[in-house]
Amino acid sequence: MRKYLLLGFLAVMFTSSSLLAADPAKEPLWPEGAPGAKGTEEKDIPTITAYLPASEINTGCAVVVCPGGGYGHLATGHEGVEIGEFWNKQGVAAFVVEYRHSGRGYKHPAPLQDAQRAVRTVRARAEEYNLDPNRIGIMGFSAGGHLASSVGTHFDAGNPDAKDPVERVSSRPDFMILCYPVIAFDKPYTHKGSQRNLLGDDAPAELIEKMSSELQVTKDTPPTFLFHTTEDTGVPPQNSIVFYMALKEKGVPAEMHVFEKGRHGIGLGKNVPGSSAWPRLCVMWLKNQGMIPDKK
């Protein structure tokens, strides 16, 4: 009996570990230095860490992951590493971005530049990663959700004349996944800390409007999945709701889930009644969008 139990345990361990192609590799987003960098210390170097699934389950889909942290720090554990590992089990490549923020001495536009660069990087290197360049999305949690939504509402087709091949490709994500996101600024339900850390205390009205994502939605905004919780008092669910309504008004495909239980920052929502279903629902949505093959 012990022999069979041991064999079963080893089989489970082997299956779990084989879902990752290799140890995650962290690289600087800008090998020659980020735009507006104030120095060359670690805090001045935004990075991207690749979590690649094993080749036998690779779907060709990828997600750029923006951890939260109120634009003052980064929750790279439950909103970074755990997310990358989750997506690898689904056969999806994940790229966790450690972007510049106020805790590192940076405000707008540095975080947006870093996240846009991350999308371009994955798309430009899609062949290397065995990915489809037309199935590269972005996701974010809390303030990282604001950053992801900013990338989805402020993008360009790339500069074909750029010397850097990464800058030649589009920064538009093919889909967005926004998890209890900060969205609106200067509202009763705004997360004031995120707004202050990103824009400062005396930002002009034009900049506040520009960085209020619900006001920047167009018909070209990528299809979006949102989830939030009613119990979230840190970033109230009105943030997701106003973004969903803006998407609906512009005819952009969107799906939103507002669960009852769960404080702010629940990540994958493990053991949270109801809310723990969001990762499964998100995978189903990606299949419905044609981003992940539906193997029925």
Please give the C-alpha separations between residue 200 and each of 27, 180, 211, in angstroms, as whole numbers. 29, 22, 12
Within a domain: 14: no
Please give the C-alpha separations between residue 256 and each of 108, 228, 237, in angstroms, as whole numbers. 28, 8, 11
| CATH number of the domain to which 86 belongs | 3.40.50.1820
Within a domain: 151: yes
**Can you give the pLDDT at residue 23?**
75
Q: Which amino acid is at 81?
A: V
**Can you give the pLDDT at residue 10?**
41
**Can you give the pLDDT at residue 208?**
98
Within a domain: 294: no
**Can you give the pLDDT at residue 21?**
59
Within a domain: 180: yes
**Can you give the pLDDT at residue 294?**
82
Q: How far apart are the first and last CA of the chain?
A: 35
Q: Which amino acid is at 19?
A: L
**Can you give the pLDDT at residue 82?**
97
Question: What total of structural domains would you count in the chain?
Answer: 1
Within a domain: 2: no
For strands 176-179 and 136-141, give the pairing.
Answer: parallel
Structural contact between residues 74 and 98, judged by C-beta atoms closer than 8 angstroms: yes
Burial of 235 (0-12, 13-18, 19+ CB in 10 A): buried
**Can you give the pLDDT at residue 177?**
99
Within a domain: 17: no
Q: Which residues span the domain enclosing 155?
A: 36-288
Please give the C-alpha separations between residue 278 and each of 258, 266, 267, in angstroms, as whole numbers. 10, 11, 10
The pLDDT profile of the chain, 296 residues, written as one tens digit per residue, is 444 444 444 444 444 445 555 678 899 999 999 999 999 999 999 999 999 999 999 999 999 999 999 999 999 999 999 999 999 999 999 999 999 999 999 999 999 999 999 999 999 999 999 999 999 999 999 999 999 999 999 999 999 999 999 999 999 999 999 999 999 999 999 999 999 999 999 999 999 999 999 999 999 999 999 999 999 999 999 999 999 999 999 999 999 999 999 999 999 999 999 999 999 999 999 999 999 998 75
**Can you give the pLDDT at residue 20?**
57
CA distance 284 to 73: 31
Within a domain: 42: yes
pLDDT digits (tens, 9 = 90+) for 244-258: 999 999 999 999 999
Within a domain: 235: yes
Helix (H, G, I), strand (E, B) or coil at 126: helix
